[in-house]
């Protein structure tokens, strides 16, 4: 059973209540606690040794990544982080200095985005370390941007560059909180998601709820230098384009916007975020499916991103 099949199985028929505006299936849950003009975001995520980091990864970067993944999800909803809880699962023989360094990485990023670390839990976890972070955020009432909302004819945009994240960027990526808040205030995307499992996979999360499709322009996909260098090295490495489509852990913003606003967005983005690339990579269509237009014509994209529990 793959990750999203398992999630559907576990969340089917779960209890809910009147406070829930948006439950399982998006980057964050949205709850209404009766606070004027605000709604609240809930998100939890984990990093596991051997899956998201290795035993020789600097612990400060492990901690940073554990919090940054959650902040990226808050950004995808155009929200603001408020506070976080941290759960540590530690193997026997752990070094207290290692744990302190993990917390140092968490705290450094938390300070940058004014996210209070308000508590958590510690437990033993045989064989490997696990860090789970839960974040509380908020967003202006009725202003959150979810995965639903794309419309046929919308342009598809992505921030930054994609692929090759395992060369180091998966530990040092910048949660796009500032960019997402600016987008929500000035252009209001129809749908938005952060790229954690790869463009080819996460894009389908924006299409499936409304039965839509997309045509991507191959030459417009922003391929990172790391992906190109890795591909050039050969030795079984993915082609650079495939890496940009499927590698995952880019944590960039993927969003849709009326094509009428595309030029204005590009101009405004360049002025506001000159160091961060923004690419229009395709257009939403009413016919389901993901198509890729390249030099040899149009083909259906069969590739997907990273899938947890995928059997070899």
Q: Please tell me the pTM assigned to this model.
A: 0.94
pLDDT of the residue at 236: 64
| Per-residue pLDDT at 63 | 98
Task: Assess whether pLDDT exceeds 70 at residue 195.
Answer: yes
Res. 308: pLDDT tops 70: no
pLDDT at 234: 76
Task: Return the exposure string of 241-252: e unless at least 16 CB atoms fall within 10 Å of the residue's CB, then b.
Answer: bbbbbbbbbbbb
**Which comes out higher in pLDDT, residue 40 or 14?**
40
pLDDT band with cut points at 50, 70 and 90 for residue 23: very high
Distances, alpha carbon 43 to alpha carbons 68, 73, 105, 163, 179, in Å: 12, 7, 19, 25, 19
Long-range contacts formed by 21-28: CB under 8 A, 24+ apart: 22/144, 22/146, 25/147, 26/77, 26/146, 26/147, 27/73, 27/74, 27/76, 27/77, 27/146, 27/147, 27/193, 27/194, 28/73, 28/74, 28/76, 28/77, 28/79, 28/137, 28/144
pLDDT one-digit tens code per residue, 164-187: 999 999 999 999 999 999 999 999
Residue 66 has pLDDT above 70, yes or no: yes
pLDDT-based confidence at residue 65 (cuts at 50, 70, 90): very high
The per-residue pLDDT for 53 is 96
pLDDT of residue 2: 72
Kindly indicate the confidence band of residue 280, based on its pLDDT and cuts at 50, 70 and 90. Answer: very high
| Alpha helix positions (H), the chain | 3-11, 59-76, 96-112, 169-172, 177-186, 199-207, 225-233, 240-246, 262-272
- Note the CATH architecture for domain 3-140: 2-Layer Sandwich (3.30)
Q: What CA–CA distance (Å, rounded) separates 295 from 280? A: 18
pLDDT band at 271 (very low <50, low <70, confident <90, very high): very high
Single out the residue of 51, 113, 123, 50 nearest to residue 86, CA to CA: 123
Instruction: Write down the pLDDT at residue 6.
Output: 81
Over the stretch 196-246, which tens digit does the pLDDT of each residue have? Answer: 999 999 999 999 988 999 999 999 999 999 999 999 987 667 899 999 999
Mean pLDDT of the chain: 94
Q: Does the pLDDT of residue 312 top 60, yes or no?
A: no
Q: Locate CATH 3.90.650.10 in the chain.
A: 155-300
Mean pLDDT for 89-94 is 95
Pick the CATH number of 155-300 from 3.90.650.10, 3.40.50.10680, 3.40.50.300, 3.40.980.10: 3.90.650.10
The tens digit of pLDDT for each residue in 92-120 reads 999 999 999 999 999 999 999 999 999 99
CATH 3.30.1330.10 domain span(s) along the chain:
3-140
Q: Phi and psi of 15, rounded to 5°?
A: -65, 140
């Amino acid at each position: 059973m793959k990750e999203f099949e398992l999630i559907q199985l576990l969340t089917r028929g779960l209890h809910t209540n009147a406070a829930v505006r948006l439950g399982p299936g998006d980057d964050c849950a949205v709850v209404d606690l009766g606070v004027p003009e605000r709604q609240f975001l809930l998100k939890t995520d984990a990093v596991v040794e051997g899956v998201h980091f290795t035993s020789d990864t600097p612990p400060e970067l492990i901690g940073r990544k554990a919090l940054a993944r959650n902040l990226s999800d808050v950004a995808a909803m155009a929200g603001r982080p408020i506070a976080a809880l941290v759960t540590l699962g530690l193997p026997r023989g752990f070094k207290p200095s290692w744990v302190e360094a993990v917390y140092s990485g968490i705290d450094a990023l938390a300070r940058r985005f004014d996210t209070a670390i308000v508590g958590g839990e510690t437990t033993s976890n045989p064989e490997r370390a696990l860090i789970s972070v839960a974040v509380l955020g908020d967003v202006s009432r009725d202003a959150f941007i979810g995965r639903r909302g794309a419309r046929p004819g919308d342009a598809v945009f992505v921030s930054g560059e994609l692929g090759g994240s395992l060369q180091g960027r998966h530990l040092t990526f910048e949660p796009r909180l500032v960019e997402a808040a600016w987008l929500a205030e000035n252009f209001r995307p129809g749908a938005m998601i952060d790229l954690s499992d790869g463009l080819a996979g996460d894009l389908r999360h924006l299409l499936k709820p409304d039965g839509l499709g997309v045509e991507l322009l191959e030459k417009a996909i922003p391929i990172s230098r790391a992906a190109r260098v890795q591909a050039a090295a050969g030795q079984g490495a993915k082609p650079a384009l495939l890496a940009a489509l499927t590698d995952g852990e880019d944590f960039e913003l993927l969003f849709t916007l009326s094509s009428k606003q595309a030029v204005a967005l590009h101009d405004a983005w360049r002025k506001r975020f000159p160091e961060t690339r923004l690419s229009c990579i395709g257009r939403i269509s009413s016919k389901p499916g993901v198509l890729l237009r390249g030099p040899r014509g149009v083909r259906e994209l069969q590739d997907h991103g990273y899938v947890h529990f995928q059997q070899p």
